[in-house]
């Protein structure tokens, strides 16, 4: 029988360095390896001995695309350890900052990384030759998200204003007002984005995923909630490590995460959407229905629609927060270090991001554990390829490879985060 | 400069967070104008199309941390007319250079269950330790306006206009009251390379040196000032041992305080 290999040596339009190797014998897939060769950077190791107050600045450097997510998981984990609760307008400002990152990160992925696959271009720059108006809309929408991060956080990449207990400085109402104007435009642009991507061609592919996301009693989740799955899991984040395990496999510099006794699971926009549709704003729900989506969506290729709905939600939510904003009396809750352990999970653009810290009575970090979304999705990405490829074997090699890449980009994988990944190889025998 | 073809731009990644190359995609107002002028010939984060070298300008992000990368940077140098390093990882080894002060084997076994699967060098080193570099742009992350200035300068055959003074000058220019003098907040601004626009002091916190040392910093004098504000030796080790820990001036200063405090 003929062996065939599909190889992508260096996956493009993902954050970080990875590749894909697929081996086939006849019409059967015999091996799929999502390879992550992004160099390891050892964050958990060098956090040891650092002051707990440095954690949000240091862990932000794991990822330039979603630094706010790292900062949010870090501060909430440390506040959990120190028995501090950040409420009221400070809590709302953190949510606003996260809205900014979701808008910026999702828009980057929808317009610049994922849409070119659906329309058959190698990148957004080439796509702009025929779809200049759409690309310009994307850039302006992305900028609106970045401006929130800039005003609340100090700068777009690696914001400086987040601290354990709150912020270094809180904005005035007047400083937030110009954002509201841009977000009103952004909300319309996001609605236009949902309509635009819902007309893309989608392959029929609906695996029975095990979705995992946060769920909050009232809100679409950002910083708080219980960990729930589509199959009955409902736990407090404190019990994360009793249910989820990480294993080290030879072909990847990122650890693979699984749910005990259940195996691979799925985190990110599609998981959040399926588990929290009822928590979306009425405008976002209506846009979803108009795009032809119900409260459940299992086609990973349609994650581009769901991501656009989340951009719309984030614009809507950011406007609500700005509208209700009153500057708090103090920028941060006072913190006294003590020997303690604490953990937290927040919803990064790509899914749940877990942090746990153990600190000394002097406030020095003794131990840190970080589980990023992409390492949790790795196994599910590989499973998708096992299931997806056999249906598309009639395609010429070049087309099949591109389809595999697109299937991986459904997850907006962030390889820089996961090593703390994309080359595609397909072997046909 | 009269050229018939668009200059070819390549963007390369080594050990890093992707934030500095993202700065280019974050130039939302300028991006399409830039791509009207240059051909994006190799930029994996943005495009699956790869145009063969040689390249007129290569932007390099990240530090060298694996045997394979130590080879790869030489190939990139050979195919690049100009090579510009962007960000603290590429110019100083980055936050991952904290391994340079410890035994990397201990680190690997802390993070990975099967350390023998991991290939890594003992030290994280800047690009200039391996190949000739035409220009270094500082920052963690780089400032996107400075990035556009560097692109425009190299493509037009002139020197980039990126001031070499300190963050202090930027604070004075934007009218921020000195956090160290007025509030007694320890700040690395007096020894740190300008470029960010002095963001931290305008948010009521001290500079934490993410743009690395300026050319001739008096780190010893600043450290004495920190001690007067109540900083301990271990505070000083941590302050200089951040995102530019392996930059010569910051490395020497952190080691000076570590000697007096073996626990660091």
Q: Tally A–B CB contacts below 8 A.
A: 177
- Is A15 touching B (CB cutoff 8 A)? yes
Superfamily of chain region A3-428 = Cytochrome-c3 Hydrogenase, chain B (1.10.645.10)
- Is B140 touching A (CB cutoff 8 A)? yes
Cα separation of A276 and A213, whole Å?
Answer: 9
Residue A198 is predicted with a pLDDT of 98
Residue B116 is predicted with a pLDDT of 60
**Domains of chain A, residue spans:** 3-428
> Scanning every residue of chain B, which has its alpha carbon at the shortest distance from the alpha carbon of A167?
B203
- Is B262 touching A (CB cutoff 8 A)? no
User: What's the whole-number mean pLDDT along residues A345-360?
Assistant: 97
Parallel/antiparallel/unpaired status of strands A162-163 and A351-359: unpaired
- ipTM confidence: 0.94
The two three-digit tokens of residue B259, written as one number: 């000697």
pLDDT band at A420 (very low <50, low <70, confident <90, very high): very low
pTM over 0.90: yes
The two three-digit tokens of residue B152, written as one number: 């425009």
- pLDDT tens-place string over residues A353-394: 999 999 999 999 999 999 999 889 989 999 999 999 988 888
Cα separation of A118 and A141, whole Å?
Answer: 20
Residue B262 is predicted with a pLDDT of 47
Q: Do A160 and B20 touch (CB under 8 A)?
A: no
Considering chain B, what is the average pLDDT of its residues?
92
Q: Which of A41, A250, A253 sits opposite B96 (nearest CB)?
A: A41
User: What's the whole-number mean pLDDT along residues A116-137?
Assistant: 95
The two three-digit tokens of residue B116, written as one number: 């023998």
At B252, which helix (H) or strand (E)? helix B248-259
Tokens 């270090």 -> residue: A337
Q: Which of B107, B117, B141 sits opposite A157 (nearest CB)?
A: B141
Residue A234 half-sphere exposure toward CB, CA atoms < 13 A: 7
User: Residues B39-77, buried b or exposed e (16+ Cβ, 10 A)?
Assistant: bbbbbbbbbbbeeebebbbbbbbbbbbbeebeeebeebb
Residue A257 is predicted with a pLDDT of 84
3-state DSSP assignment of residue A360:
coil
Contact (CB, 8 A) for A254 and A416:
no
Best CA proximity match to A369, nearest among A43, A13, A53: A43
3-state DSSP assignment of residue A41:
coil
User: Domains, chain B, ranges and CATH?
Assistant: 8-155 (3.40.50.700), 167-259 (no CATH)
Name the A residues in 399-418 with CB < 8 Å from any B CB. 402, 405, 414, 416
């Amino acid at each position: 029988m003929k062996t065939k290999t599909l190889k992508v040596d260096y996956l493009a339009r993902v954050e970080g360095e990875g590749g894909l190797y697929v081996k086939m014998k006849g019409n059967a897939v015999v091996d799929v390896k999502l390879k992550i060769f992004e160099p390891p950077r050892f964050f958990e190791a060098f956090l040891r001995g650092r002051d707990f107050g440095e954690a949000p600045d240091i862990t932000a450097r794991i990822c330039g695309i979603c630094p706010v997510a790292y900062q949010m998981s870090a501060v909430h984990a440390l506040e959990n350890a120190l028995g501090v609760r950040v409420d009221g307008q400070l809590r709302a400002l953190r949510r606003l900052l996260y809205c900014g990152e979701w808008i910026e990160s999702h828009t980057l992925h929808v317009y610049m990384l994922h849409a070119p696959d659906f329309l058959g271009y190698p990148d957004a720059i080439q796509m702009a030759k025929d779809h200049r108006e759409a690309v310009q809309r994307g850039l302006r929408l992305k900028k609106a998200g970045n401006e929130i991060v800039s005003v609340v956080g100090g700068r777009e990449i690696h914001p400086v204003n987040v601290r354990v207990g709150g912020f270094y400085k809180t904005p005035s109402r007047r400083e937030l007002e110009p954002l509201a104007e841009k977000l009103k435009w952004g909300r319309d642009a996001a609605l236009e984005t949902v309509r635009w991507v819902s007309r893309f061609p989608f392959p029929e592919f609906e695996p029975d995923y095990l979705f995992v996301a946060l769920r909050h009693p009232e809100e679409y989740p950002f910083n708080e909630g219980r960990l729930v799955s589509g199959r009955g899991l409902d736990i407090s984040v404190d019990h994360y490590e009793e249910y989820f395990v990480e294993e080290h496999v030879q072909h990847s510099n990122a650890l693979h995460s699984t749910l005990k006794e259940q195996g691979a699971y799925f985190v990110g926009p599609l998981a959040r959407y399926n588990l929290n549709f009822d928590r979306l704003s009425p405008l976002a729900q209506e846009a979803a229905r108009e795009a032809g989506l119900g409260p459940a969506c299992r086609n990973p290729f349609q994650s581009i629609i769901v991501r656009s709905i989340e951009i719309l939600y984030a614009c809507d939510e950011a406007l609500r927060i700005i509208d209700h904003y009153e500057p708090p009396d103090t920028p941060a809750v006072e913190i006294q270090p003590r020997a303690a352990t604490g953990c937290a999970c927040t919803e990064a653009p790509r899914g749940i991001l877990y942090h746990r810290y153990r600190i000394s009575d002097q406030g020095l970090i003794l131990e840190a554990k970080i589980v990023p979304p992409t390492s949790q999705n790795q196994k599910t990405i590989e499973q998708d390829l096992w299931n997806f490829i056999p249906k598309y074997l009639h395609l010429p090699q070049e087309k099949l490879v591109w389809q595999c890449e697109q299937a991986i980009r459904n997850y907006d994988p962030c390889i820089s985060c996961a090593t703390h990944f994309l080359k595609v190889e397909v072997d046909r025998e | 400069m009269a050229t018939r073809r668009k200059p070819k731009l390549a963007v390369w990644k080594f050990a890093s967070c992707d934030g500095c190359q993202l700065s280019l995609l974050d130039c939302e107002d300028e991006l399409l104008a830039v791509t009207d002028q240059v051909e994006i010939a190799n930029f994996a984060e943005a495009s699956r199309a790869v145009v063969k070298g040689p390249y007129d300008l290569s932007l390099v992000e990240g530090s060298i941390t694996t045997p394979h990368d130590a080879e790869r940077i030489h190939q990139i140098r050979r195919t690049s007319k100009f090579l510009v390093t962007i960000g603290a990882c590429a110019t100083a080894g980055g936050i991952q250079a904290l391994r340079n002060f410890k035994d990397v084997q201990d680190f690997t076994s802390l993070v990975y269950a099967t350390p023998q699967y991991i290939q890594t060098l003992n030290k994280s080193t800047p690009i200039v330790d391996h190949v000739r570099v035409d220009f270094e742009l500082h920052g963690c992350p780089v400032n996107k306006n400075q990035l556009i200035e560097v692109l425009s300068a190299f493509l037009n055959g002139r020197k980039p206009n990126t001031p070499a003074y300190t963050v202090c000058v930027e604070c004075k220019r934007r009218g921020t009251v000195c956090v160290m003098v007025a509030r007694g907040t320890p700040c690395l601004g007096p020894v740190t390379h300008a470029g960010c626009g002095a963001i931290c002091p305008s948010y009521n916190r001290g500079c934490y040196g993410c743009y690395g040392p300026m050319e001739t910093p008096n780190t010893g004098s600043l450290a004495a000032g920190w001690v007067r504000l109540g900083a301990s030796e271990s505070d000083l080790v941590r302050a200089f041992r951040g995102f530019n820990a392996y930059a010569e001036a910051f490395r020497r200063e952190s080691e000076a305080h570590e000697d007096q405090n073996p626990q660091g």
